[in-house]
Amino acid sequence: MTNKLSIEQTIANMMTENTGSHMLDSGGSTGRNWQRNQGKTVEHFKSLPSATAEIYYYERNDHYEISPCVNIFHLLTGGVLELDDLCHEFNSIEVGEWSDVYYGVCWGGVGFLNKHDFEYTEDQRHYGFNTYNDSLNHSQVMQGNMLQRDGSTYVLLQIHGGADVRGGYTDAKLFKLDDWAEFYNLMSDSCGFSSPDGHHGVAWHGELINEDGSSASDDEIKALALAHGCNADNPNITIEGSAYLDF
C-alpha cells in the first residue's frame, strides 16, 4: 500500500528514525541525532529558526567569531524538493538489507528504480555526495545520490542520525528536485543575521559578508556580537537568523 505522506512528515520521520548505535560510537545513550529528536513532531521542527549562529568571544586576543548553521528541516521542506507518485511508491517500500548500488537503498528499492528507468545524472560528482565532505554548515549531515528520469532530476536522500559521521544514516527516501532548483540549492548553507535593533548584520555565503556584499571585517563582526550581548562576561551565545531558501 502506498503511503502518501507530506514532505514535511517525511523529513520529520527521517529526523526521528532510529539509526542504531554501536559500542564504539561516541553518542552515548542520548547523544545521537535520532535520540535527541525523539518525540519531536512536524510542528516542533517548523517552530525552529531556519538558521542559528554561535558567537564566541576570545578574551585572550579580543576576537569575536561567528559560526552559522542552517536547519535542514527548513532547507529540505522550503520548496527545493517535492514528492510525486513515484516518490511516494518508492518511499512506501519495506526496506530490507541495503544494496551496494545506491546509498541506503535495499534490493527491492534497486529493482523499483531499474523498473522505472532511473539512472545516475550525467555530472559525475553527483554519483554520490556527503555534506560532511564539503564542510557545510547544516544542523545534520546529509548524503545521497542524484538520479534522472524522463528529463527530471531526483535525489535519493539520507539524513545522518548517528554520532560518528561514518555511520548512522537513515534509509534513503526518494524526492524530486523542483523544476526550478539546482543541486546547489539542496546543499545551500546561505543565511543571514541581524542585531536586535537592525543596525548591524552579516550574512554567510561561503564566507561572512557585510550588508554591502563585501567580506565582513572584524569590527563589523564585533559590532553584531556586542549588539547581541556577547562579551567577556557572556563569551558564548546563540542567535537566530534566517536561511536563504529562495531559488
Nearest residue to 175 via CA among 102, 71, 89: 89
pLDDT digits (tens, 9 = 90+) for 222-231: 999 999 999 9
pTM value? 0.92
Report the range out of 16-20, 82-86, 177-181 with the highest average pLDDT: 82-86
pLDDT digits (tens, 9 = 90+) for 30-42: 568 888 888 999 9
Please name every residue paired with 158 in a beta bridge, in sequence order, or none if there are none. 143
pLDDT for 23 equals: 45
Asked if residues 225 and 205 have their Cβ atoms less than 8 Å apart, the reply is: no
How high does pLDDT run on average in the chain? 91
Percent of the chain with pLDDT over 90: 79
Q: Does the pLDDT at position 126 exceed 70?
A: no
Helix (H) / strand (E) containing 77? helix 72-77
**Length of the chain as a residue count:** 247
Q: Is 127 helix (H, G, I), strand (E, B) or coil?
A: helix
10 Å CB burial of residue 210 (0-12, 13-18, 19+) is middle
pLDDT digits (tens, 9 = 90+) for 185-222: 999 999 999 999 999 999 999 999 998 999 999 999 99
CA 180 – CA 127 distance, rounded (Å): 21
CA 221 – CA 208 distance, rounded (Å): 9
pLDDT for 3 equals: 78
pLDDT for 162 equals: 82
pLDDT for 246 equals: 65
String of DSSP letters for 8-76: HHHHHHHHH------TT-TTTTT-SHHHHTTT--HHHHHHS-SEEEEEEEETTTTEEEEEEEE-HHHHH
* Region 133-158 average pLDDT: 95
Residue with cell 563585501: 214
If one counts every other C-beta atom within 10 angstroms of the C-beta of residue 60, the result is 5
CA 131 – CA 133 distance, rounded (Å): 5
Which comes out higher in pLDDT, residue 11 or 127?
11
DSSP for residue 140: S
Residue with cell 542559528: 52
Q: Does the pLDDT at position 164 exceed 90?
A: no
Q: Does the pLDDT at position 245 exceed 90?
A: no
pLDDT digits (tens, 9 = 90+) for 63-89: 999 999 999 999 999 999 999 999 999
Kindly state the cell numbers that stand for 230. Answer: 556577547
* Side chain identity at residue 12, one-letter code: A
DSSP for residue 170: P
pLDDT for 24 equals: 47
Percent of the chain with pLDDT over 70: 93
Task: Please report which residue ranges of 78-169 form alpha helices under DSSP H.
Answer: 85-91, 107-115
Q: Does the pLDDT at position 27 exceed 60?
A: no
